[in-house]
Amino acid sequence: MIKQAKVRATAHTNIALIKYWGKADVSLNIPTTSSLSMTLDKFYTTTELSFDASGQDRLILNGEGTDATRVKGFLDLVRQKTGQDFPGLLIDSQNHVPTAAGLASSASSFAALTGALVRLLDLPENDREMSRIARIGSGSASRSIFGNFAIWNKGHDDASSYAEPFYDEDIGLSMIVAEISQKEKKMSSTRGMQLAQKAPSYGAWVEKSARQLKEMKSAVQAHDIEQIGLIAQDNALGMHEQNRLCPEPFDYFIDETRQVLAFTEACYRSGLLAFATMDAGPNVKIITDKASETELLARFKNEFPNMAFEIAHAGGGLSYD
Ligand code: 2P0
């Protein structure tokens, strides 16, 4: 039963403190590890969804018609899974995510689309179900249904793999995003994961990740930014190590990445809270706290005068207007 002709939903992007980097099932995005993320207050996608007169699925991104292949694949899977053969949709999305800053918009995009879809089709607005649907679009989108800190439990099949809120509070963590390169990433996450999973050391990273998740949960509950930073940094650098150690090695790091990482370490040695995390690209997100962010940002701007920086905090969560 269709109750509304047009729905608008907003979802925010998230950064994993314990990463998702590997799939047990590629078509359903069942991961090899559970992951824990912070949803960001500042960066989001708003999606307006309606039925398209053409009967086809169409995508408009930031006002321009765009290739809808990936989104159509997602919608077809949802048609199949829900048994609802809904007609073609017009997806009109505005991304307030600086893709130039290496922040993936797929998380906020698929979470916003899922939220809008569920309401448009009058499906149950159940967070767990929405997280499972968003996961099929993009793994990290499962976590963007929620604000603040969320855990995506890896599960073992479509029913058991979903994210849920872990800690619904801003604990004073700041992320300084260093915009190192605006170039399109040369290796997609999906392909990068496939290659990295063949590293001889991958199993050890997966095992370590499970231990780090437990430690990270305690650190978030204790609002211990230093522990959070140390664990997140180790987990992210370990993830990137798998990319270098697999039979077809590749690397998201570029020279400026290494410079920013080295400067982050130097700031920590000098007594400031400063830790790095990185995703499927050369950009670095620096973890610090609200008390240190102004001084740390000034130091980075002084050291890298040609680089742009953004600061984000915890927040977000799926919303409608
Ligand atoms: C994460 N990343 O946990 C990890 C860390 C990037 C590095 O989730 O193939 O776009 O669509 O499920 O979610 C980016 O991968 O990958 C990602 P797909 P996705 O945030």
Whether residue 251 contacts residue 243, with contact meaning beta carbons closer than 8 Å, is answered with yes
Q: What is the pTM of this model?
A: 0.96
Q: Is residue 1 part of a domain?
A: no
Return all residues near 7 (Cβ < 8 A) that are at least 6 apart. 48, 49, 50, 116, 119, 120, 320
Q: Is residue 318 part of a domain?
A: no
pLDDT band, residue 184 (cuts 50/70/90): low
pLDDT of residue 320 exceeding 60: yes
**Cα of 21 to ligand 1 centre, how many Å?**
7
CATH number, position 97:
3.30.230.10
Number of domains in the chain: 2
Q: Is residue 130 part of a domain?
A: yes
Same domain, 147 and 234: no
**Cα of 149 to ligand 1 centre, how many Å?**
16
| Domain boundary pick from 170, 201, 224 | 170
Q: Which domain holds residue 42?
A: 6-170
Nearest-atom index, ligand 1, CA of 278: 7
- Half-sphere exposure of 105 toward its Cβ, with a 13 Å CA cutoff? 20
Give the residues surrounding ligand 1 with Cβ less than 6 Å away: 16, 19-21, 29, 35, 104, 106, 138-140, 189-190, 279-280
Same domain, 163 and 46: yes
Whether residue 176 contacts residue 288, with contact meaning beta carbons closer than 8 Å, is answered with yes
Looking at the chain, the whole-number percentage of residues with pLDDT higher than 90 is 90
Six token digits for residue 93? 């999305």
Average pLDDT, the chain: 95
Q: Which residue has the higher pLDDT, 249 or 179?
A: 249
Six token digits for residue 64? 């321009």
Return all residues near 226 (Cβ < 8 A) that are at least 6 apart. 273
**Which of 28-37, 77-86, 143-152, 191-200 comes out lowest in average pLDDT?**
77-86
Q: Is residue 321 part of a domain?
A: no
Q: pLDDT at position 101, please?
A: 61
Q: Which long-range contacts (CB under 8 A, 24 or more apart) does 162-167 make?
A: 162/128, 162/131, 162/132, 162/135, 163/131, 163/135, 164/127, 164/128, 164/131, 165/127, 166/36, 166/217, 166/220, 167/220, 167/221
pLDDT of residue 1 exceeding 90: no
Q: Which residue has the tokens 């078509």?
A: 27
**Cα of 302 to ligand 1 centre, how many Å?**
32
The secondary element (H helix, E strand) that includes residue 73 is: helix 69-82
Nearest-atom index, ligand 1, CA of 106: 10
- Ligand 1 pocket test: which of 138, 142, 194, 209 has the largest number of ligand atoms within 8 Å of its C-beta? 138
**Cα of 254 to ligand 1 centre, how many Å?**
20
Q: How far is CA 41 from CA 35, 44, 177, 317, in A?
A: 19, 8, 13, 9
**Which of 180-184, 233-237, 251-255, 285-289 comes out lowest in average pLDDT?**
180-184
**Cα of 94 to ligand 1 centre, how many Å?**
20
SS3 state at 47: strand
Same domain, 22 and 157: yes
Q: Which residue has the tokens 């984000």?
A: 312
Nearest-atom index, ligand 1, CA of 140: 13
Same domain, 148 and 226: no
**Cα of 121 to ligand 1 centre, how many Å?**
27
CATH number, position 300:
3.30.70.890
Q: How many secondary structure helices (H) and strands (E) does the chain include?
A: 8, 14
Whether residue 212 contacts residue 234, with contact meaning beta carbons closer than 8 Å, is answered with yes
Mean pLDDT for the stretch of residues 220-230: 98
Altogether, the residues listed in the chain come to a count of: 321
| Domain boundary pick from 138, 155, 170 | 170
Whether residue 10 contacts residue 144, with contact meaning beta carbons closer than 8 Å, is answered with no
Same domain, 165 and 233: no
- Ligand 1 pocket test: which of 12, 13, 19, 20 has the largest number of ligand atoms within 8 Å of its C-beta? 20
Q: pLDDT at position 183, please?
A: 72
Question: What CA dihedral angle connects 232, 234, 237 and 238, to 10 degrees?
Answer: -110
Q: Is residue 319 part of a domain?
A: no
Residue nearest to atom 20 of ligand 1 (CA): 16
| Domain boundary pick from 170, 205, 237 | 170
Six token digits for residue 290? 């609200």
Q: Is residue 281 part of a domain?
A: yes
Q: pLDDT at position 294, please?
A: 98
Q: Is residue 302 part of a domain?
A: yes
Q: pLDDT at position 105, please?
A: 85
ipTM, two decimals, is: 0.97
Whether residue 49 contacts residue 9, with contact meaning beta carbons closer than 8 Å, is answered with yes
Interaxial angle between packed helices 127-137 and 69-82, expressed in degrees from 0 to 180 and rounded to the nearest 10: 140
Q: pLDDT at position 181, please?
A: 80
pLDDT of residue 202 exceeding 60: yes
Q: Is residue 254 part of a domain?
A: yes
